[in-house]
Amino acid sequence: AQKVTQAQTEISVVEKEDVTLDCVYETRDTTYYLFWYKQPPSGELVFLIRRNSFDEQNEISGRYSWNFQKSTSSFNFTITASQVVDSAVYFCALSNRDDKIIFGKGTRLHILP
Amino acid sequence: DGGITQSPKYLFRKEGQNVTLSCEQNLNHDAMYWYRQDPGQGLRLIYYSQIVNDFQKGDIAEGYSVSREKKESFPLTVTSAQKNPTAFYLCASRGGRSYTFGSGTRLTVV
C-alpha cells in the first residue's frame, strides 16, 4: 500500500524564522517520485519540486531546501528566513509506476509578521 | 499559454441534482485526473484516465461519473448518489512525470 503522512497539521512561526515541514511515505515500489506542492488561499496547486527515488541528493532553491532520506522514507521541506508570502497549505505527494499521485493531508503554515 | 481550465470557479446546486464540472487541457497530455479536497483531508483521487475512451475509479468514485471522449476534455459529473458533494474539486493532467493542476471548482450543494 502507498501512503504519505504529514504529521504536522498546522504550524505557526514568526517571520524570518526557519521552518521544516515533515513528510514520511510508504511504498513497496523501488521506482517512485516524490513531490511538494504549495496551495495558496486561491486554491490552485503550485508545483515546487519533484524527486525520483534514485536521486537522494538534497536540493536547494533559493530559500527552499529539501532533504530526501530513503533510509527513513522521508522527504522533508525547509523554508529558510520565512516570509509572510510563504503562508499556505503545503502538500507532499508520491507517485509510482501506476501513475497515480497520492497526497498527504497537508500542513497549513502560518507566517506571522 | 498551455494549461488546464476548470469552470466554473464556484458552483451552487440544489440537493438531488446532478452537476457536471468541466476540465479542459491544451497540454496534449494523455493522462487526466480528478481530485476532491475537503478541509483537513488532503486531496483524494476520484477518477483518472490514462488515454481517450478509458478511465479507472480512484479511491472515492462512488457517486461520481466521468467520460473521456476527447483527449483535451475530462468532465466530472457529481450525481445525486453522492452523499456529501460539497467540496473543492481539482482536475490535473500528466505529461511524463509532471502533473499540472487546474485552479479548481468549489461546489456547494444546498
Instruction: Determine the pLDDT at residue A58.
Output: 85
Average pLDDT over residues A26-30: 92
Average pLDDT over residues A48-61: 89
Comparing CA positions, the residue from A37, A61, A39, A56 lying closest to residue A48 is: A37
Instruction: Determine the pLDDT at residue B92.
Output: 95
Q: Which DSSP category does B53 fall into?
A: T
Question: Between A52, A100, A103, which is nearest B42 by CB?
Answer: A103
Instruction: Determine the pLDDT at residue B54.
Output: 95
Cα distance between residue B47 and residue B67, in whole Å: 10
The answer to whether B50 contacts A99, with C-beta atoms less than 8 Å apart, is yes
Cα distance between residue A99 and residue A81, in whole Å: 35
Instruction: Determine the pLDDT at residue B1.
Output: 64
Asked if A100 has any chain B CB less than 8 Å from its own CB, the reply is yes
Which residues in chain B are contacts of A100 at CB distance < 8 A? 33, 45, 48, 58
Question: Between B41, B94, B101, which is nearest A44 by CB?
Answer: B101
Q: What percent of chain A has pLDDT over 70?
A: 100
The answer to whether B42 contacts A95, with C-beta atoms less than 8 Å apart, is no
The answer to whether B42 contacts A106, with C-beta atoms less than 8 Å apart, is yes
A–B CB contacts, 8 A cutoff, strictly below: 52
Per-residue cell: B99: 502533473
Cα distance between residue B34 and residue B44, in whole Å: 8
Alpha helices, H only, chain A = none
Question: Between B45, B100, B101, which is nearest A100 by CB?
Answer: B45
Cα distance between residue B15 and residue B25, in whole Å: 29
